[in-house]
Structure 1
């Protein structure tokens, strides 16, 4: 972070605490109860409440600041067009200067103290400008549509295996999350990365501990999050387990390169020098976690929606050409990544609000994907929605590398599964992960009959 920008952030924070919001910023502020709701991980296990608050904000205060003593002040951007405008201006709204994920103020300070950086890991997510382009280009070709299509036969085989296991259950019931949705995309992305099948369970557990750190059912140690020092230590322990694994993978791929992404990362050259251990590990962790967790969430979101709407299941089964539309709608509906944060590098006006250099912004993809100005009847689940402009994968320079892989994985799974089931219904109480950042179904008990 540049010194001038650091001073701007410190001045803004200090003035906020001493002079009051209205005197300094003269802007719209999110009502305190909504600010509490939208920064509490537990709220995202009750998504209807979150959507109710975001709907009000889109209509009344589409760009407004959240002031909460537990967090540094930040702007909440709720409209689809505004999220896109911020994303497309990566030179103005930067990723590297502050955390790209909302975390409490004491945790931010603990990260800075330990890492001398706002980030626990280094990856393309928190890089800017030329550095971002260089690192992203290392693996970009692997995840482009042309290359992904070459893997479709292998994906179909993996999908068919998981469908067969599900349909062979004698009781006609399963937890679709733990039995199918978690493991199918995990297997696909680990094959691409180069992680052997026997290690997939380890990767899944570490991913859940990283993204679900504030969910008592998924965290390695939920009590650790009560203390910033213990919380950081827990994150470091999880990342340390990832790094220990991937350091061995790097050594192997440098000695014995293969046709996989791990070999690309391990043997990468950055400005004529081998990629650093920290940067390689950050790359591995990004692919090994985001590469399957978000796809799992959207896949489960689709089955949840169909199980509650039998007429839509019949509609898709009668016309399988609707499956790509089902995929897009499931991604919009679920929006696994709820937000990313950006930092303004210069003063900027957005919907009449004066954003200052150094200000922190939350891009709410969850809100943008329910924007009434973009999506007709946004709270309806429609498999035949025309021109679905969902932005769950982000937009602009930082759009998700794996979006084409995710969509094809989901399409192939639904092509294999949906023609073979007669009915789907909810068979218990589904549940969402408690997380402000990445949240999707963590339990989805369903009952099915087979054609």
Structure 2
């Protein structure tokens, strides 16, 4: 059994915001009990999977470890009971690819897989470059000081994804706000109550309100795209068919929500994390500035370094064994991606930010059948931004204390104040 203090740390949104307590907790677990049970107060017991090899094994065995049987993110006993009450027995407020198992997962993924394939995305690169240049010009106009997270990293991927989806530019602030409410439900600065959420009812009410706002917006969009289809992702979802039938309402709305939120938020976090890391490591900044061939390395290392998705849960469908431990049918497993991406067995000097790291076998996008659908788009957005920004950026340093959001599921920087010189 994992000690109560470590169990409390790995579920604490504030620990993820601080960074170091989480790194230390998982380093200790990898060394002392890499696969063990945690039972923090108010939660069902769950296995904490900390080593990359074990996380990969779970992710590869989709029939043995399901996404959808229980909540796909860690939740309290009380919150789980209330969600099931609201959702007619289902543990999920939304039902996106993340909450699906086969055959639904394969069928729903196939609907947009071609859209996100590298060969299709290549056609978008010129437009993405144009968008990146626009944001870099705006950054230059700040005159040497800005909050890179708020002024660039949040807005650039948001604009790309909303354009891909078909959301008008005027609605982008609304989409950003709703996304931050959804992933920042534990953060008093970001959730819709603007307060510390102390109880399950308040947290769920806040989340439910956010999901309802998203659904209202995308419902109107679906009706529009059925009448007037365009060459955008929204039209694909609105007019998509699974086994000859239109998508179910909850599934269609959930598809939009995951595209609109995960589609930009994770890229924003990684981009903000990269500038933060380079501001703290001037030698790494100079390396990549002087050698554009290292930009792809910078992208991969910043994805590993930031690992915006902190965990997903899986449920064992039968008795099995993992890393020599007996897992019972129905057991819940917590896959820790930050831990897998700091695994000493996989990475030399895992706590160093190194743009020359090669190979870089991180698992920030997941692994196996559930690997992130938008990974190629995210990589392209980051590569293009650095290709455009680094030749113009002479220097960068922190201009105050960067801060991360408080969240144990999806978490990244919310403020990265920098001073910079540009030409």
Q: Alpha carbon RMSD of aligned pairs, Å?
A: 0.9
Q: Find the aligned partners of 2:134 and 2:195 in 1 and give their Cα distance.
A: 38
Q: Find the aligned partners of 2:268 and 2:45 in 1 and give their Cα distance.
A: 32
Q: Does 1:145 align with 2:118?
A: yes
User: Is this contact kept in 2: 1:224–1:231, CA < 8 A?
Assistant: no
Runs (4+) off by over 3 Å: 222-225
User: Is this contact kept in 1: 2:35–2:323, CA < 8 A?
Assistant: yes
Q: Does 1:65 align with 2:65?
A: no
Q: Does 1:321 align with 2:289?
A: no
Q: Find the aligned partners of 1:131 and 1:85 in 2 and give their Cα distance.
A: 22
Of 409, 414, 420, 1:442 maps to: 414
Of 92, 96, 100, 1:119 maps to: 92
The alpha-carbon deviation at position 221 of structure 1 amounts to 1.2
The alpha-carbon deviation at position 233 of structure 1 amounts to 2.0
Gaps of 5+ in 2: none
1:158 match? 131
Q: Does 1:46 align with 2:2?
A: no
The alpha-carbon deviation at position 226 of structure 1 amounts to 2.4
Gaps of 5+ in 1: 1-28
**What is the correspondence of 1:427-438 to structure 2 with a 5 Å cutoff?**
427-438=399-410
User: Is this contact kept in 1: 2:185–2:192, CA < 8 A?
Assistant: yes
2:80 match? 108
Q: Find the aligned partners of 1:197 and 1:219 in 2 and give their Cα distance.
A: 23
The alpha-carbon deviation at position 335 of structure 1 amounts to 0.2
TM-score, L = length of structure 2: 0.98
1:9 match? none
**What is the correspondence of 1:174-323 to structure 2 with a 5 Å cutoff?**
174-223=146-195, 225-323=197-295
1:55 match? 27
Q: Does 1:399 align with 2:371?
A: yes
The alpha-carbon deviation at position 229 of structure 1 amounts to 2.6
1:168 match? 141
Of Structure 1 and Structure 2, the greater helix share is in 1
SS at match of 1:373: coil
SS at match of 1:442: strand
Of 396, 405, 420, 1:424 maps to: 396
User: Is this contact kept in 1: 2:186–2:203, CA < 8 A?
Assistant: no
Q: Find the aligned partners of 1:169 and 1:118 in 2 and give their Cα distance.
A: 46
Q: Find the aligned partners of 1:318 and 1:192 in 2 and give their Cα distance.
A: 33
Q: Find the aligned partners of 2:194 and 2:39 in 1 and give their Cα distance.
A: 26
Q: Find the aligned partners of 2:378 and 2:43 in 1 and give their Cα distance.
A: 33
The alpha-carbon deviation at position 231 of structure 1 amounts to 2.3
Q: Find the aligned partners of 1:188 and 1:314 in 2 and give their Cα distance.
A: 28
The alpha-carbon deviation at position 223 of structure 1 amounts to 4.6
1:14 match? none
The alpha-carbon deviation at position 246 of structure 1 amounts to 0.3
Q: Find the aligned partners of 2:354 and 2:41 in 1 and give their Cα distance.
A: 40
Q: Find the aligned partners of 1:230 and 1:412 in 2 and give their Cα distance.
A: 41
2:103 match? 130
Q: Find the aligned partners of 1:223 and 1:428 in 2 and give their Cα distance.
A: 24
SS at match of 2:391: helix
The alpha-carbon deviation at position 261 of structure 1 amounts to 0.6
Q: Find the aligned partners of 2:422 and 2:210 in 1 and give their Cα distance.
A: 41
